[in-house]
Homo-oligomer: A and B are copies of this chain.
Amino acid sequence: MIDVCLLGTGGMMPLPNRFLTSLLVRYNGRCVLIDCGEGTQIAMKKKGLSAKPIDVICFTHYHADHISGLPGMLLTMGNAERTEPLLMVGPRGLEKVVGSLRIIAPELPFEIRFKEITTDEMSFSLEGDSQFTITAFKVNHNITCFGYTMNLRRQGKFDVEAAEAHGIERKYWNSLQKGEVIVSDDGRTFTPDMVLGQERKGIRLTYVTDSRPTDSIVANARGADLFICEGMYGEPDKAQKARENKHMTFYEAARMARDAGVKEMWLTHYSPSLVNPMEYMDEVKKIFPSSVAAKDGRSTELLFTQ
């Protein structure tokens, strides 16, 4: 199960009733934040969520509306007496940008580790959990910008008959099920594939803001349980503006959702000029019926379906 909370849905600048776009993802005690604009820590508190346990902050890019809340967030984590290291992931320049912003947050009781994305696509797992992977993939904005896909793999069912046929003692079953390779007391080696059936469908979540439509987005969102995508403009006459500013209209996002065959799409990152995103959803749903004009704080649990 993956817990997803879209903390804000605004683009460009925070508004009284619309925080900047940011996503909090929780899985098995792990906590990943994507982007941290001005006010993201307020949006978290509003949802009763604590900043302290965040393991990773991924940045799509370094426009202010996606990172301006970082110094405050770090200090709030520090005030909560966090001591565990924090991993930050983002495009080249990450350490420089964070270092520069930290002029007002120089002292923290925890270490910050940096992982810069240096290729068009890069995957990594969190320490000690190979089942959950995060993939950054390049999108198309006016500065280097990445989308993120999170994959929670689901291994095959444990095959008791196969385990017995291999003569594997019961005490090793649990470890094998967890994916570990076992050397038994009598020197034999057992691998998980000996006892696990075919890998089952996992959970996939794809998040994209600040981009024109790209093939990389469709490929990464392929079959996603949830596709969260920017929709800067709902007004049909803003297609040209979307192209100029390297953003998307609701309709472009919906076409990608349809092409990628996702289960559900949430629109976010609305222009401050877009007062009522709901207004355009009838047309959007004609393209992709499972489209949602998300509001701040929209949450869901993504579950295994097989």
Q: Please tell me which one of the listed residues B15, B41, B45, B100 contacts residue A103 in the complex, with CB atoms under 8 A apart.
A: B100
Q: Please tell me which one of the listed residues B63, B65, B72, B100 contacts residue A64 in the complex, with CB atoms under 8 A apart.
A: B72
Bound-complex Cα distance A84 to B38 (A): 25
A53 / chain B contacts, CB cutoff of 8 Å: none
Bound-complex Cα distance A41 to B75 (A): 20
Least Cβ–Cβ distance between A35 and chain B, in angstroms? 12
A202 part of interface (Cβ distance < 8 Å): no
Main SS of the interface on chain A? helix
A104 part of interface (Cβ distance < 8 Å): yes
Bound-complex Cα distance A16 to B105 (A): 21
Flag if A16 contacts B97 (CB, 8 Å).
no
Flag if B14 contacts A42 (CB, 8 Å).
yes
Flag if B97 contacts A62 (CB, 8 Å).
no
Q: Determine the residue in chain B with the shortest Cβ distance to A75.
A: B64
Q: Please tell me which one of the listed residues B16, B75, B100 contacts residue A101 in the complex, with CB atoms under 8 A apart.
A: B100
Q: Pick from A37, A42, A45, A69 the residue with the most CB of B within 10 Å.
A: A42
A140 part of interface (Cβ distance < 8 Å): no
So how many copies of this chain end up in the complex?
2
Q: Please tell me which one of the listed residues B12, B38, B97, B103 contacts residue A69 in the complex, with CB atoms under 8 A apart.
A: B38
Least Cβ–Cβ distance between A119 and chain B, in angstroms? 24
A260 part of interface (Cβ distance < 8 Å): no
Q: Determine the residue in chain B with the shortest Cβ distance to A69.
A: B38
Bound-complex Cα distance A197 to B96 (A): 60
Q: A75-B13, A104-B101 are in contact. Are A41 and B41 (CB under 8 A)?
A: no
A101 / chain B contacts, CB cutoff of 8 Å: 100-101, 103-104
Q: Pick from A38, A46, A76, A101 the residue with the most CB of B within 10 Å.
A: A38
Map CB proximity to B onto A64-99 as digits: 1 under 8 Å, 0 otherwise: 110111011001100100000000000000001100
Flag if B14 contacts A39 (CB, 8 Å).
yes
A100 / chain B contacts, CB cutoff of 8 Å: 100-101, 103
A residues engaging B (CB < 8 A)? 12-16, 37-39, 41-42, 45-46, 62-65, 67-69, 71-72, 75-76, 79, 96-97, 100-101, 103-105
19 contacts between A and B (CB under 8 A): A13-B41, A13-B72, A13-B75, A13-B76, A13-B79, A14-B42, A15-B42, A15-B45, A37-B72, A38-B38, A38-B41, A38-B68, A39-B42, A64-B71, A64-B72, A64-B75, A68-B68, A68-B72, A100-B101
3 shortest interchain CB distances as A-B pairs? A100-B103, A64-B104, A38-B72
